[in-house]
Structure 1
Amino acid sequence: MSKQPSKRLWLLTSAALMAALVFFVLWASVSQQPVVEVQVDGTTCYFTEPSFELRWIHSVEKQWWEEQYQRTDDGLLLTTTYFEAFGAGTPSTEALAPTKKPGYLGYQINEKLPSLNWVVSRLTKGELNYADHRLLVHEWAPDYSEVTITPKTYHLIDRLQKDFCHELASDGSR
């Protein structure tokens, strides 16, 4: 009789493990996580933080320009823009944003975009910042390369196939 309980225990354990495996596979196939996907010069990476900043040196004013974005369910929201110098083409009809840095002027923009295409060069020193990560995008690709920033929803398998942006080397290589 001692063999009977061992066999029953083994069958119950096997059935529980199979059920757990089926549950995990189903969960992995349906669970999704919102991310921001970045594509530049053949490299694709992502980050999960809902907000980020683009920062570059303006080609005419030669001063830093910063834009803050928020990931939304249906795109990106450009919330504010900050700059050190005021010149031609600078928006001036929007409400002033709270000053985040001494010497900067900011405007509240609140413009929705489905995605963002951004051209970078070494001269403008374009960078993408999120959480505590500073990504020097201008070092990833040749001058005048287009960076595509898109809000997406990744399944677990998508996340396993792509890298976090901050895990890439500064030149965008793996």
Structure 2
Amino acid sequence: MMNKPASKQLRWLTGAAFIAALVFLILWMGLAGQPVTEVRVAGTEGENDKVCYFTEPDFQLRWIHSVEKQWWEEQYQRQSDGLLLTTTYFEAFGAGTPSTEMLAPIQKPGYLGYQINEKLPRLNWVVSRLTKGEIDYGNHRVLIHEWVPDYSEVVIMPQSYGLIDRFKKDLCHELPSDGS
């Protein structure tokens, strides 16, 4: 049987080890980066940049093509060093439409899809209300054309956010769509 001073010392050491492990875990969570996809719009006339993020690795950009007036979709995967454009889908086939690529393994009704697999460091995308640009990920649809002024350049890129960064920035689907 253990004597009382030794038992008390053991409880104290166990408690101190638990607190040290908890502090280590909190520091690690605050400093360790979580891979995210950042969406950034440059501020105008002295305004700060608008920034949001999402954690899902796969996302899709959709817009109405300015010439064909039909929906176009591009599907992407976030990777540690860039974005991979995996497939593109469109309703109308016209000038500038990729046609030398392999057909996408999954075809969508009403669309023609091609497998692209092109690696990009980031996307610079200009959106307007006329093209109705949107970002879809998970079960969320962000109407980016309602969030930013017409002809804004939206930069989409992979990032790594620590816990503090995630508290300072908003998830894209939690932002109001009226641009405020």
Q: What range is the shorter-chain TM-score in?
A: 0.7 to 0.9
Structure 2: unaligned runs, 5 residues or longer: 44-48
Match of 1:127 in 2: 134
How far apart are the structure 2 equivalents of 1:102 and 1:21?
52
The one-letter code sitting in structure 2 at the alignment partner of 1:103 is G
Q: Secondary structure at the match of 1:53?
A: strand
Query: What amino acid is the match of 1:85?
Result: A
The partner residue of 1:164 within 133, 158, 171 is: 171
Amino acid at match of 2:121: P
Structure 1 residues 65-103: Cα deviation after superposition (integer angstroms, max 9, x where no partner): 000000112100000000000001111110111353212
2:73 aligned residue (66, 74, 86): 66
Alignment-derived partner of residue 115 in structure 1: 122
SS of structure 1 residue aligned to 2:173: helix
Identity %: 73
When normalised by structure 2's length, the TM-score is 0.85
Partner of 2:91: 84
- What CA distance in whole angstroms lies between the structure 2 residues aligned with 1:83 and 1:108? 12
Runs ≥4 in structure 1, deviation > 6 angstroms?
Answer: none
2:77 and 2:83 in contact (8 A); partners too: yes
Q: Does 1:148 align with 2:149?
A: no
Cα distance in 2, alignment partners of residues 116 and 18 from structure 1 = 44
Greater mean deviation of Cα atoms: 150-159 or 22-31:
22-31
Q: Classify the secondary structure of the residue corresponding to 1:159.
A: helix
Tell me if the contact between 1:43 and 1:172 (Cα under 8 Å) persists in the aligned partners: no
CA RMSD of aligned residues (A): 2.2
Note the C-alpha offset of 1:37: 0.3
Q: What runs of 5+ residues in structure 1 fail to find an aligned partner?
A: none
Offset at residue 106 of structure 1 (A): 0.8
The one-letter code matched in structure 2 to 1:69 is: Y
